[in-house]
Structure 1
Amino acid sequence: MQYHLEGFRPGDPSVSLERAQVPAGDVDVLIVGCGPAGLTLASQLSVFSDISVRIAERKSGPLQFGQADGIACRSIEMFEAFGFAEKVIKEAYHVNEVSFWRPGSDGARLARADRIQDVEDDLSEMPHVILSQARVHDFYLDFMAKSPCRLRPDYNRELLSVRRHAEGTHPIEATFACLDQESGNETIRAKYLVGCDGARSKVRAEMGHSLKGQSARQLWGVMDVLPRTNFPDIRLKCAIQSADQGSILIIPREGGYMVRLYIELDALDEAERAADRNITSEQLIGKARAILQPYAFEVAEVAWWSAYEIGQRLCDTFDDVSAKDRGSVRPRLFIAGDACHTHSPKAGQGMNVSMADAFNLGWKLAAVLRGQAVPAVLDTYSEERRGKAKELIDFDKDMARLFSEKPKTDAEAAQFQSYFKKHGRYTAGVETRYDPSMLTGRNRHQALAEGYVVGKRFHSAPVIRLADAKPIQLGHVLKADGRWRIIAFAPRADIGEKDGPVAGFCERLSTGLLARVTPKKADIDAVIDLRVVFQQSHRALDITKLHPLLRPTKGALGLTDYEKVFCPGLGPQDIFDMRRIDREKGAVLVVRPDQYVSMVAPVSHVEDIDSFFGHICPAQLRPD
């Protein structure tokens, strides 16, 4: 974490000294809903003092009880970009292993069939964890409150209507009922509105969209309990399939005592809904006890419970532009999270995918609003995220079906276990890959860095920072600040000195692309942040002989940034081996602000990188 750039400052360095004006009227972005998608988006936008944001929520205050609590490795990587990954990791339950139980050789008594590692080695430097959604909300709210915008939600605001006008600088008009007042409404005008208001989204309805799909007609119960039991794997994630009582998924919770149970109930009739069954917590406990026989299972306390039916549904588009108008009409209304896709909680992806939606959209809105990207960038949100939601729903259908099926043979019983192993990378959130577009290039030079697949997230690895010899994860420099990253991996013989490949790359970059896209009087890394990794030991390089772009002068005081250059870590494998980077030729990565690799290029191909950015952020863009 860097601070003191504009002068010495005492106190908490996470509190921004830069403060934006609190919007009293029209805003740039209006967010409806304080769920994980809404708070991720609000947090990302709150770091920009020149963007005005409001976030409105119907509830009277912050969430108290979490519903979606599984946090994938990829989401923890994203939390690191916001600066609170360590807090999540410290509080959470860590899912290290998964056990599978099914009827034993006698066909009745439960027996452990297998116990496996949950996340494969080097899938991510981050763990798969379980933590209350409410605590994740708390961390986001704290981040927002300390940001330049000092952003706080407007609670007790029920959305009544949304209108899009054809003209004007703020063409979106949203009217809210102020539930904390005896009477009165509030109307807010915005340049963009994002509906993060759940499966019954008012924003989606006002856009004329609907969720399409079918329910599986399967009823499930979910409950967080403090149990008393002799079941041996109660503190492991367990998938249990009984002979004739149904299935149960056990998810241990943070704190060492509480567990979450997903309990299979009966199938619903065609016209029946979950509420029609009048399920009680006592019924759920009884069903869990029956599935877990012959093990004893008592509940000392129920913290929370619910009953639901599985449904996989998806919107045709995630914004307000029709297929025929795409490219000629700019999207102004967006939906994210459960507002545009719903699925079962079995794969633990609901909150994770919702946050990924918002992380994808936030930097794009900021770039267009700040004049750093063409408006066409906004069209990529629906295209990219709808494709990922469709993949999730297809995966979820298979996962839910296999979990509920009554196995007739050992081979059938092992299918779910095999499917879980096969798709572990998917449930960890690291398999997302965006197709080629204006933001994701072709993989012509993929062989230079085979471990950094174009279209997939940047996979971190350990390095040592040159200036202070600090071991860090390289991916942790990719903060949620809206900046693109160019990461150059130097060829074997290059030590960064004059006339070498990296020095030549820096010179052409500084006089070309960076000169074109960086606003006047801004730091040279304000839009695109360059980092370099050399192959030599950190004790073998002389930082004073590196190109000035790698030790840039920044801020009003003209201080030097010494944190741009890295060397291999000290382990048995370094980043070049781990990520299969060509040692002789080196490689250059272009990484999006949401941490996805846009292109891989040779160190000598500055013109390819310049051309790529030429379609996204040409010079002299006018701020929105």
Structure 2
Amino acid sequence: MQFHHHGYVSHDPRVLPAEGIGLDRPADLPDEMDVLIVGSGPAGMLLAAQMSQFPTVSTRIIEKREGRLELGQADGIQPRSVETFQAFGFAPRIIAEAYNIGWMNFWGPDPEHPENIIRTSRTEDYGYKISEFPHLIVNQARVLDYFAEAALHGPGRIEPDYGVEFLGLTVRDEGAFPVEVRVRQVADGSERTIRAKYVAGCDGARSGVREAIGRKHVGAMAAHAWGVMDVLVNTDFPDWRTKCAINAEAGNILHIPREGGYLSRVYVDLGAVAEGDNRQVRHTPLEDVIRKANEILHPYTLDVKQVAWHSVYEVGHRVTDGFDDALDADRHPRVFLTGDACHTHSAKAGQGMNVSMQDGFNLGWKLGHVLTGRAPQQLLSTYAAERRPVAQQLIDFDREWSSLMARKPEEISDPQELAAFYLGTAEFPSGFMTQYEPSMIVDGSSRQELATGFPLGKRFKSAQVTRVSDGNVQHLGHHARADGRWRVYAFADADASALASWADAVEPLFACFTPQDGDVDAVFDVKAIYQQGHDEFEFTDAPALFRPQTGPLGLTDWEKVYAAAPTVWCQEDIFETRGISREGAVVVVRPDQYVAAILPLNAVDRLSAFLEGALLPAS
């Protein structure tokens, strides 16, 4: 963490100095704003935290609920989400309080006594096998708390306007604030109309924003019901503190230990839903769910002491027919849908909250760029183009996973099939399979062979390097923060001569996109990675581009020059680990951590063309 560059700081350095709107944020919901976020779920709160990094953009977030969420339904946190938490500055704290899924065990009928279940396999969880980040379980309410803190402590000082209900909206073709939004104060029932430049519908599966722009959920409900409960129990089941998939003659259970050491979530298979049920299965008594769980677990028993939350649902797989209000290619979008407002599915794959947060991350920096003049308005059209295919992939994956989970024992020919599917598809649920297609922000002419370990359009996969200024080992990607800046990683050639020429050539290029009143790295955070050891050259030998002087005091930033050669503390060489050419390479990474371009050091003209297509010159 870097601080003090704006002067000595004695308070919590995570609380950034207020700027722009954050200096005098109106207490009451104003009549006009740049961005209105509807709903304070995972997508909405991440979006608010991101917009707080753009303090000149007036952003408000409204929520019908009177206060913070106390008990969230979602709880699975995939490694990509933890990586995102790292960018927002709270990964270590949430990891400390979460449950870490280290194993997943599988249970099935005992061949000799099929009325009983036995453990059929123990499987290492995929989290640490494919990432440096864990696979966690923590209540959604706590995730929202952390994002709320990030939004409030950012320069924009954003916090939810609770007790405000969305009623509807109309998009006009003229005016500085073309989206008229009708809202109601829950406390007194009074109604008013407010105006915004853009609206983000983060208001869940029954989204009023979706209905207002005429978008429709496409898909159907599966004729299968599950009961789910968060419980405190005493039990003789030996794997109660291990994630388990249990397949029995009486049905199926997905069991997930929760944070805190005692709480667990149990998904209980209630079987096929009768034709014409008309959702009556949703009224299944809690007692019936507990009884069914005990039947499935036989010969083990659950003595339920307390139920913190429970529900019954039917599996549904739906994707909205559009993620924004642009019904034709000639119209720029003004209203966007995120999270459950545009994709719904079962809860058992642990994807809902995770994919929703990535929707918010994708949209947030784009809104910030357009509203601060960094990028043209057509950038906003890439949100739907990038996120809708991801949602469809999620639906397809979840349909297969939930079908496998609901099978009867006689339908299973291989007892290891579910475990094999769980591990074989791990990269998708972990959040690392997303790969955006070439566009104005993903350079289709990139030279992938120069950095094979950084697939174009995928998230930047970090690796360890050594910081030259102090010899400390760092994960290169972990230094990046969700501050709306682009990252440019310049990997040096063997003698660094090409790197030096590149640095001289790109300084004026980066300057043309950087506001004159901003720091030299306000838009681009540029880092150099040398092939040598950190003790084979001096930090001060690096080109000035990598030693910028920032802040009102003009202090040198000592944390942009790194070395790749292995040391006693760092055994890997990022050039080898990520397949980087020894002739050097430039890897450009978007503000949401996805690889945007891979270029040789001598292709400054190509870098210039890419940036000119993605960004606007600073005014």
TM-score by length of 1: 0.95
- Of 589, 592, 595, 1:594 maps to 592
Of 379, 392, 395, 1:393 maps to: 395
Aligned mates of 1:409, 1:4 — CA distance in 2: 63
Structure-2 residue corresponding to 1:176: 183
Q: Are 2:126 and 2:423, in contact at CA under 8 Å, matched by a contact in 1?
A: no
Letter in 1 for 2:437: D
Shift of 1:410: 5.6
Query: Which residue of the partner structure matches residue 498 of structure 2?
Result: 501
**1:101 deviation in Å?**
0.7
Aligned-residue Cα RMSD (Å) equals 1.4
Q: Do 1:273 and 1:309's aligned partners in 2 also have CA atoms closer than 8 Å? A: no
Indicate yes or no: 2:516 matched with 1:520: yes
Shift of 1:588: 1.0
Give yes or no for the alignment of 1:574 onto 2:601.
Answer: no
Runs of at least 5 residues in structure 2 that lack an aligned partner in the other structure: none
The alpha-carbon deviation at position 187 of structure 1 amounts to: 2.1
Pairing of 1:225-240 with structure 2 (within 5 A): 225-240=231-246
Q: Which range moves more in the overlay, 378-387 or 150-159? A: 150-159
- Is the 2:182–2:191 contact (alpha carbons within 8 Å) kept by the matching residues of 1? yes
Give the CA deviation at 1:473. Answer: 1.1
* From 238, 248, 254, the counterpart of 1:249: 254
Q: Which amino acid letter does the alignment assign opposite residue 116 of structure 1?
A: T
Q: Which moved more, 1:372-381 or 1:472-481?
A: 472-481
Indicate the SS of the match to 1:38. Answer: helix
Q: How many angstroms does 1:483 deviate by?
A: 0.8
1:48 and 2:57 matched = no
Aligned residues: 609
For residues 207 and 127 of structure 2, what CA distance do their matches in structure 1 show?
Answer: 37
**Residue 259 of structure 1: aligned partner:** 264
More off after superposition, 370-379 vs 402-411: 402-411
- Compute the displacement of 1:478 (Å): 1.7
The structural deviation recorded for 1:275 is 4.4
Say whether the 8 Å CA contact 1:15–1:147 is kept in structure 2. yes
Equivalent residues of 1:81, 1:480 under 8 A apart: yes
Asked if structure 2 preserves the Cα contact closer than 8 Å seen for 1:552 and 1:560, the reply is yes
The alignment status of 1:136 with 2:136, answered yes or no, reads no
Moved more, 268-277 or 463-472: 268-277
CA contact (8 A) 1:443 1:454 kept: no
| Structure-2 change in CA distance of 1:541 and 1:423 (3 Å) | same
Deviations 1:484-517, CA, capped at 9 Å, x for gaps: 11101112332xxxxx111111111102x21211
* Aligned counterpart, 1:2: 2
Which stretch of the first structure deviates more once superposed, 151-160 or 100-109? 100-109
The residue type paired with residue 379 of structure 1 is S
**Residue of structure 1 in register with 2:376 after alignment:** 374
Give the aligned partner of residue 529 of structure 2.
533
Q: Deviations over 1:260-295 (max 9, x none)?
A: 001110221333244455212211111110000011
CA positional deviation for 1:470: 2.1
Distance in 2 between the 1:146 and 1:619 partners?
Answer: 29
Q: Residue 444 and residue 139 in structure 1: after superposition, are their counterparts in 2 closer, same or farther (change >3 A)?
A: closer
CA distance in 1, matches of 2:465, 2:400: 39
**Once the two structures are superposed, what CA deviation does each residue of 1:141-184 show, in whole Å capped at 9, x if it has no partner?**
11112122221111111111201111000001111110112x42
Q: What is aligned with 1:497?
A: none
Query: What residue ranges of structure 1 are gaps of 5+ in the alignment?
Result: 495-499
The match for 1:124 among 127, 131, 146 is 131
| 1:424-435 alignment runs, 5 A limit | 424-435=426-437
% identical equivalent positions: 44
Give the Cα–Cα distance (whole angstroms) in 2 for the partners of residues 409 and 330 of structure 1: 50
For residues 320 and 477 of structure 1, the distance between their equivalents in structure 2, rounded to whole angstroms, comes to 36
Q: For structure 1, which segment, 438-447 or 69-78, has the greater mean C-alpha deviation from structure 2 after superposition?
A: 438-447
Q: How far, CA to CA, are the matches of 2:445 and 2:123 in structure 1?
A: 34
Question: Where does residue 405 of structure 1 map in the other structure?
Answer: 407
Q: Are the equivalent residues in 2 in contact too, given 1:26–1:189 (CA < 8 A)?
A: yes
**What whole-Å deviation, never above 9, does each CA across 1:517-560 have from its counterpart, x for those lacking one?**
11112111111111111121111121112111110111221111
Task: Tell me the distance in 1 between the aligned counterparts of 2:278 and 2:506.
Answer: 60
C-alpha displacement of 1:579: 1.2
For residues 164-212 of structure 1, what are the alpha-carbon distances to aligned partners after superposition, in whole Å with 9 as ceiling and x for unaligned?
111000001111110112x422322110000000000000000011111
Kept after mapping to 2: 8 A contact 1:73/1:124:
yes
Cα distance in 1 for residues equivalent to 2:111 and 2:51: 57
Correspondence for 2:539 among 536, 539, 543: 543
Q: CA deviation at 1:409?
A: 6.3
Instruction: Tell me how far 1:88 sits from its aligned partner.
Output: 1.0
Amino acid at match of 2:501: G
CA–CA distance in structure 2, aligned partners of residues 112 and 493 of structure 1: 57
Question: Amino acid of the residue matched to residue 372 of structure 2?
Answer: R
- In the other structure, the counterpart of 1:349 is 351
Matched, 1:337 2:339: yes
SS of the counterpart of 1:161? strand
Residue by residue, what CA displacement relative to the aligned partner does 1:72-98 show, whole Å, maximum 9, x if unpaired?
000000011110011110000000111
8 Å Cα contact 2:77-2:138 kept in structure 1? yes
Tell me, yes or no, if structure 1 residue 200 matches structure 2 residue 203: no
Identify which of 105, 108, 117 aligns with 1:102. 108
**Corresponding position of 2:325:** 320
CA-to-aligned-CA distance 1:425-484 (integer Å, 9 cap, x gap):
111111111111111122641111111000100111111211122222111122111111
C-alpha distance in 2 between matches for 1:122 and 1:485: 26
Whether the 8 Å contact between 1:274 and 1:307 is mirrored in structure 2 is: no
1:364 corresponding residue in structure 2? 366
AA of the residue aligned to 2:466? I
Residue identity matched to 2:485: R
Instruction: Quote the residue 2:12 is aligned against.
Output: 12
Partner of 1:585: 583
Is the CA contact 1:531–1:550 (under 8 Å) kept in the aligned structure 2? yes
Secondary structure, aligned partner of 2:481: coil
- 1:280 lines up with 2:285 in the alignment: yes
**Alignment check: 8 A CA contact 1:313 1:342 kept:** yes
